[in-house]
Amino acid sequence: MSGRKEEASRPMASARTWFRRILTTIIALAVLGIVVVSVGWWKFLHAEHQVFDTPRDRFQYGSLGSELVAGIPYPIFMILPRVFPDLVEKYAMQGYGPKKPGWGGYDAFGLAWEQGQRLPAGFSIRRVGYDRLTINCALCHTATYRVSPDADRVIVTGGPAHTMALRNLLDFLFAASHDARFTAARLMPEIALNVPLDWLDWQIYSFYLIPKTRLALQLAESELKWTQTKPAWGPGRDDPFNLPKYNLLREPLDDTVGNTDFPALWQMGQREGRLLHSSGEAKTVYAVTATSAFGIGSLPGHDFRDRNQWIVDYLANLPAPRFPGPVDAARAARGQAIFDAQCGSCHGANGARTGTSIPLEDVGTDPGRARSWTDDNAARMNRLTGALGMTGAELQGARGYIARPLTGLWLLGPYLHNGSVPTLADMLSPPDRRPKTFYRGYDILDLNSVGFVSTGTDAEAYGYRYDTTQTGNGNGGHSYGTALSPDDRRDLLEYLKTL
């Protein structure tokens, strides 16, 4: 009996051992799996919540949630100027380049860098696994100026980033991505100087993040190849509607050039109910915000609407800065009467045509921008954003040019949508007497003619040569106020300083 029992229990015992082994293996694999997934999640996806002291900081350095689509590793981004100083020099805005004492790194592209910040306004650093760098609204919507060469630089939230040379910055990054030095062997020791890296980080950077970043930059470059076939943006501008037209809608290349200045975002609450964008493509600040965020990689998701609504609310009452020079009050008072009579209907707070589109035939300014976006383009864009569940983001085709309220006008130079007229004094001169070429992107104010210094050796050293004969750069039209007597023009100019 006992022998039989033994015989029967042997296979049972070995079955139990097998079962135990399989179970142990499964548990071990599961634990390993959990460890790998957790480490993977921690190293790649664990998202940190950003905290800011002030709403202003949040606007300038906050994330739009585009890390997974358009983020690049901050530890790689930050060392590139150090590894490629020759490329910084090649693509820098000349005067802001590395030869100027005190300037260097990303400053060379005319960015608004505040003391004590890790990066200039317009960049967010948010940990999603690793620190990922993305851009936000402030990149194009933060102004810098100085009242004289030895004065401090003033940074104005929501102002136009007129010194920011986006294309130069991109060209620098693209050139670096093709350079033989863009390797783990060259970059890792530099990264390790700034960031504590464990063994696993070292592997992740060497074998994944560095090659991936290099590839991502090259892909972005090929996406933007079309810009090389069109006149340069120069500092303070991009081609805001051709970008989504070619890159999001994948429309075939056409011959339009819609180069447009970065505008100011002050007091946007007063703009609700009227048209926005140079050619009136949007009807609400929310629609502009949502489509802009989408354009730079933010996809509709759980907090898309709240984040964009926060921006809309922040901009609603964002104050415009006051003119930092003297104003002749008596002249300004006389100028106000001229403004009310000749400009108020289109630019006054309650003007009947303020925030409406003025047909091209009437305003007569360069038609390029208004031709760059049609009702057809808008309908396709609306289908795309609609399919993604973005509500309230509808756009329409371009309609002439919008007469905006002239809030903070003194800081909006060069003037007109394409930035083709350097100063307000030139705006009040007949179109054929406005400068044909000048330099833009220098940050010293011209307190008399109102605008930025646009001629002379310093403007030439810092600035970009703007040629009004290039397609899209025309400086004609808008001859309102140009027939006034010199004295009346002086009065009007004095008033315009106070807006």
Residue type, 398: A
Minimum CB–partner distance for residue 322 and ligand HEC (Å): 17
Minimum CB–partner distance for residue 177 and ligand HEC (Å): 20
Minimum CB–partner distance for residue 328 and ligand HEC (Å): 17
Of 182 and 442, which CB lies nearer to ligand HEC in the complex structure? 442
Name the helix (H) or strand (E) containing 437.
strand 437-440
Q: How many CB atoms lie within 10 A of CB 35?
A: 10
Of 191 and 237, which CB lies nearer to ligand HEC in the complex structure? 237
Of 168 and 365, which CB lies nearer to ligand HEC in the complex structure? 365
Beta carbons within 8 Å of 127's beta carbon, 6+ residues apart: 46, 47, 48
Q: Where are the beta strands (DSSP E) in 114-193?
A: 123-128, 130-135, 142-145, 154-157
Give me the residues that bind ligand HEC (CB under 6 A), please.
Answer: 64, 135-137, 139-141, 166, 238, 240, 260, 262-263, 265, 268, 276-278, 285, 288-289, 292-293, 296, 311, 342-343, 345-347, 353, 358, 362-363, 365, 401, 403-404, 406, 409, 412, 415-417, 424, 427, 478, 480-481
Minimum CB–partner distance for residue 275 and ligand HEC (Å): 8
Of 272 and 467, which CB lies nearer to ligand HEC in the complex structure? 272
Minimum CB–partner distance for residue 231 and ligand HEC (Å): 15
Minimum CB–partner distance for residue 453 and ligand HEC (Å): 17
Minimum CB–partner distance for residue 361 and ligand HEC (Å): 11
Of 289 and 336, which CB lies nearer to ligand HEC in the complex structure? 289
Please give the distance of CA 335 from its chain centroid, rounded to a whole number: 35
Of 86 and 487, which CB lies nearer to ligand HEC in the complex structure? 487
Per this entry, what is the length of the chain?
499
d(CA 86, CA 94): 13
Minimum CB–partner distance for residue 138 and ligand HEC (Å): 8
| Contact in structure between 481 and 454 (CB atoms under 8 Å) | no
Question: DSSP for 209-262?
Answer: IHHHHHHHHHHHHHHTGGGGGS----TTEE-TTHHHHHHTS-PPP-S----EE-
Of 282, 291, 303, 252, the residue nearest 67 (C-alpha): 303
Percent helix, strand, coil in the chain, to 5, is 45, 10, 40
d(CA 472, CA 369): 7
Tokens of 296: 């730079």
Of 210 and 427, which CB lies nearer to ligand HEC in the complex structure? 427
Of 191 and 343, which CB lies nearer to ligand HEC in the complex structure? 343
Q: How many CB atoms lie within 10 A of CB 464?
A: 26
d(CA 148, CA 154): 11
Of 201 and 298, which CB lies nearer to ligand HEC in the complex structure? 298
**Backbone φ/ψ region at 129: left (φ over 0), alpha (ψ -120 to 50), beta:** left
Of 176 and 265, which CB lies nearer to ligand HEC in the complex structure? 265
Question: What are phi and psi for residue 452, nearest 5 degrees?
Answer: -110, 150
Minimum CB–partner distance for residue 276 and ligand HEC (Å): 4
Minimum CB–partner distance for residue 392 and ligand HEC (Å): 14
| Contact in structure between 464 and 235 (CB atoms under 8 Å) | yes
